[in-house]
Each structure stands twice: as C-alpha cells, then as structure tokens.
C-alpha cells in the first residue's frame, strides 16, 4: 500500500505544460518573437540591421515570416529559425546586392 496517491492524468497534463513552455521559450513551437529577441538571435545586430537584412528579405516577405505591428516588428519564431538556418551566412552581405546579381 502506497502512502501517496498519484493522479497520473494530472502528472501528464503538468508534464505537457512544462514541455510546451520550454519549447516556446526555445522558439520551437507557435510563438512569436519581437525585435529584441530577433536581435539576440542575430548575434546582437542592431534593429536597423535586422530590418534591412531580415525583415525586407524576399524570402521573409514572400512567406510572411515578419510583420510590422505598428510599434514593433513581430516574427514567426518557428519559421524564422528555419530562415536563419538557411540564410544567415549570406545575410552578412545585404540581400539587395545579391538580388541585383540574380540571387534570392
């Protein structure tokens, strides 16, 4: 006989909640990032740099990965992570220059 009764359904519910919170914090599921988080993800680049190299990048615009809320930029975290994985090395040079050369 156990001295403790464990409600397994409640334990599972709490585990799911903790896992969801951790994944959101890590930007892996359905969360949105504001400009400050995006600047951190881009290695501390300025908001101006993020706007020029990320917000107006053709891939970001075409796939609606970022939008201006009127007061700040908001990014779809899950999708923008994939974008950064694909394009970050190329973001050192402004995408506008690459477009003129036939890139993007």
Domain extents in the chain? 31-100
| Alpha-carbon torsion angle 42, 43, 49, 55, nearest 10 | 10
* pLDDT tens per residue across all 104 residues of the chain: 668 888 989 988 988 888 877 776 665 666 888 999 999 989 999 999 999 999 999 999 999 999 998 889 999 988 999 999 988 888 876 656 555 434 43
For residues 30 and 81, the answer to whether their CB atoms sit within 8 Å is no
pLDDT of 87 reads: 86
* pTM of the entire predicted model: 0.63
Tokens of 95: 């995408």
> In a 3-state reduction of DSSP, which class is residue 12?
helix
pLDDT of 67 reads: 94
């Amino acid at each position: 006989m156990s001295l403790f009764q464990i409600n397994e359904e409640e334990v599972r519910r709490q585990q799911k909640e903790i896992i969801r919170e951790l994944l959101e914090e890590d930007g892996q599921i359905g969360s949105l990032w504001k400009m400050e988080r995006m600047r951190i993800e881009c290695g501390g680049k300025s908001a101006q740099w993020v706007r020029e190299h990320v917000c107006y990048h053709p891939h970001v615009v075409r796939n609606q990965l970022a939008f201006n809320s009127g007061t700040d930029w908001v990014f779809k975290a899950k999708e923008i992570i994939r974008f950064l994985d694909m394009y970050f090395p190329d973001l050192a040079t402004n995408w506008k220059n690459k477009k003129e050369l036939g890139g993007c």
